[in-house]
Structure 1
């Protein structure tokens, strides 16, 4: 039985059991990952997964789950076990019936043949990364990974959707070390771009080399240039705050904002971009089979959209934006509009400030006010009178997200497609100059 037939049978059985809404999304993924440490391959893995995500409702009671594919093959047993839970489950405050599908049927391909070929033998890409890491600078060692995948997504719903989408992707990042200096860069895409992969190694090693001889810096208020890695990560936080469920639960800086309110500098435009074919999470349809479309979240500093599935849209008296998640709406990809500066020109605009190239451990102390902190990692540089004067270390950005958004005063022309473990929503980002940022020390 094919995967699509298996999904169709599950929907039929669930309806026979008395469930009113049924959806099943089966992801079949072939994946190849090579990790490297000490400037040599350390682990090479190749595996295939087949996982079924299911959504069921009976009345206003909702059930979701993730199961191995063999569980779905025995649909009667699985549905019987779930049926026993119906009386114990409360009605959902966010219930809405599954919508009529905006995408009803078809096969959609976002496959790059170059990635498919590279999955057969990724050694050439690993060699490219490792060779480039020491091409321009003598580096002590590097670590990182390259991850390649081919995913086939089958979505079947009780409202009549039977859709298949196949896509490829690549994600890579490298961290390089030289004496006490370190640097990191990353890249992700739907398509294989050897020059961008090579750039990851070149940038990581350059940052490591240039950040040798670090010293401390005094806490205070600084103008800060955020690299695409850092700006992407903070804009990931903002994008999740722009979802309907985050707003409804009070975990958002937008809980008291209306569409059209100014929430950021007029320089900032950030888009949810599910139709950008180069970014890894591009897709034609969401988990409710609603057609996706590109849309601004913030445009020229104004709040333009809250991201919805059908459930949160009903609470807001509006329509789905094609961002389902059956429970939590989600951004697909983020595209941040660039500006008019080269990086060197942004640096020249800073009298006293910092260039922060990487960050870890972002934590929110107050979601509604956007009070957060994040630790600067790897290469950090002190800027005085428009030029970099020395590498520094052990800084923490401790501020409010709304103030950071409103204090953006410059964006670079060039943008970078970023994804790594701190940036899980793929993001195309420029460098960003932010005025008057609170900087403290950390001792981790």
Structure 2
């Protein structure tokens, strides 16, 4: 069925069941993925998914929710009936409604439609990539983590008040994570990820070269002394931290009491004035952009930190009502609606007079630690407390020369980190999770093997 037919069928079934108020979000996808191990097929997947999440409001305006993959007339009626029964157990302390922006115009990015390559072609491409990466250096013995995938999907939102919207798109990804081994040395690993709207959009050769270069560079390693160091965070590492502590901007987290912010934090200076952070889900560089969220609210650019001050929170319909504002387009769809950022963009504001502009990672001759990638985010971040302790991949720079760090952990507090930024470099870089420049921190604690 096409989106209009699905909406019509749900509407008819709701009328038969005397359900006046409902909405739904639907997702349909065809997914293909492959993994290899030394040329042999390790895992091949092809799946077709269809999922509809239905919400029903009863006469007391309580919400019930259910999910189904059965799109037959019987299946939809059963799902509506179950959601109606579930509504009797709805949350009486917080009332959810339709987003007031669910009928506003949306911006759907025009992208050339891609066609599936299929499992056989994906397997052939990944085998060749694995072989080239292994052959790129004698120390690279295997590519233990790898994958090539393509996905074609459609998203729909509609409600009984007449809101209706949908979009379709494709996305492809490759990741190559190499393992290098030398005699009397510990194995070293690193990798690369590339995204595109289709496999033909991905520069696979650059993925191979980047994975090889990073892995080989880490072969010359040494331990690091436990101490406090001047820190340079790569764009990827800084975005990782900001996403890990996105509860600072999250209205749902504030209501649930698990955020460092509170309802009165808007306008508070939480960083140095040189920092701007905004969420820009519709950015042209964002492969995964979506024109609306789970409640049908249009996606938009939203300033979160402006010249160091907290300017906005991320809102769903229900949190916006509590905060007496409007939804921001960051909601999921569920019994308890979640809120999350789309795609963060970090930049230097025009309030940057106190920055140390001589700190540029490509030519600074002093001693510092360069953090390339942070790991174990879910285990090492306590977002409600603001603390983190994370293993990382990185480099120790001394007198302009760099050496890979064998193993170490960086620890600190996000409030301290944001207030102790001493430079934000001019050049911004595109990553898979957003855009950011390199960011320098006055000092953070590094725990090493010495």
The aligned counterpart of 1:222 is 229
- Alignment of structure 1 residues 275-314 onto 2, 5 Å: 275-314=282-321
Q: Is the 8 A contact 1:338 1:414 kept in 2?
A: no
Mapped to 2, the partners of 1:191 and 1:430 lie a distance apart of 27
Q: 1:406 aligns with which of 399, 402, 419?
A: 419
Q: Is the 8 A contact 2:27 2:50 kept in 1?
A: yes
Change (3 A) 1:87 1:256: closer
Mapped to 2, the partners of 1:275 and 1:32 lie a distance apart of 25
Q: 2:396 aligns with which of 382, 400, 416?
A: 382
Change (3 A) 1:166 1:215: same
Change (3 A) 1:344 1:301: closer
The CA deviation at 1:132 is 5.3
Q: Is the 8 A contact 1:410 1:434 kept in 2?
A: no
The aligned counterpart of 1:182 is 189
The aligned counterpart of 2:375 is 360
Deviations 1:29-60 (CA, angstroms, capped at 9, x unpaired): 11121223446653232221111122222234
Change (3 A) 1:89 1:53: closer
Mapped to 2, the partners of 1:237 and 1:301 lie a distance apart of 18
The aligned counterpart of 1:243 is 250
The aligned counterpart of 2:338 is 328
Stretch deviating more after TM superposition (306-315 or 359-368): 359-368
The CA deviation at 1:232 is 2.5
The CA deviation at 1:209 is 0.6
Mapped to 2, the partners of 1:371 and 1:95 lie a distance apart of 33
Q: Secondary structure at the match of 1:101?
A: coil
Give 1 or 2 for the bigger CA radius of gyration: 2
Q: What number of residue pairs does the alignment pair up?
A: 431
The aligned counterpart of 1:421 is none
The CA deviation at 1:245 is 0.2
Identify unmatched segments of 5+ residues in structure 2.
182-186, 350-354
The aligned counterpart of 2:364 is 349
The aligned counterpart of 1:272 is 279
Change (3 A) 1:60 1:401: farther
The aligned counterpart of 2:352 is none
Q: Secondary structure at the match of 1:74?
A: helix
Change (3 A) 1:256 1:100: closer
Mapped to 2, the partners of 1:16 and 1:109 lie a distance apart of 37
Mapped to 2, the partners of 1:51 and 1:428 lie a distance apart of 32
Q: Secondary structure at the match of 2:23?
A: strand
The aligned counterpart of 2:406 is 393
The aligned counterpart of 1:316 is 323
The CA deviation at 1:108 is 4.6
Q: Is the 8 A contact 2:157 2:165 kept in 1?
A: yes
The CA deviation at 1:410 is 2.8
Is residue 33 from structure 1 mapped to residue 43 from structure 2 by the alignment? no
Q: Secondary structure at the match of 2:115?
A: helix
Identify unmatched segments of 5+ residues in structure 1.
419-425
User: Given the two structures, how large is their TM-score scaled by the length of structure 2?
Assistant: 0.84
The aligned counterpart of 1:116 is 115
Q: Secondary structure at the match of 1:262?
A: coil
Change (3 A) 1:274 1:353: same
Q: Secondary structure at the match of 2:179?
A: strand
Change (3 A) 1:196 1:369: farther
The aligned counterpart of 2:184 is none
Change (3 A) 1:264 1:164: same
Deviations 1:319-372 (CA, angstroms, capped at 9, x unpaired): 111222230122222222379999993154373332222222124664344112
Deviations 1:233-288 (CA, angstroms, capped at 9, x unpaired): 21212334412101211222222663332222334322211212431331222222
Change (3 A) 1:65 1:77: closer
Q: Is the 8 A contact 1:189 1:417 kept in 2?
A: no
Change (3 A) 1:26 1:47: same
Q: 1:160 aligns with which of 138, 159, 162?
A: 162
Deviations 1:377-413 (CA, angstroms, capped at 9, x unpaired): xx4221123431x222221122111222233323361
Change (3 A) 1:196 1:247: farther
Q: Is the 8 A contact 1:343 1:412 kept in 2?
A: no
Q: Is the 8 A contact 2:347 2:437 kept in 1?
A: yes
Change (3 A) 1:191 1:332: farther
The CA deviation at 1:119 is 4.9
User: Given the two structures, how large is their TM-score scaled by the length of structure 1?
Assistant: 0.85
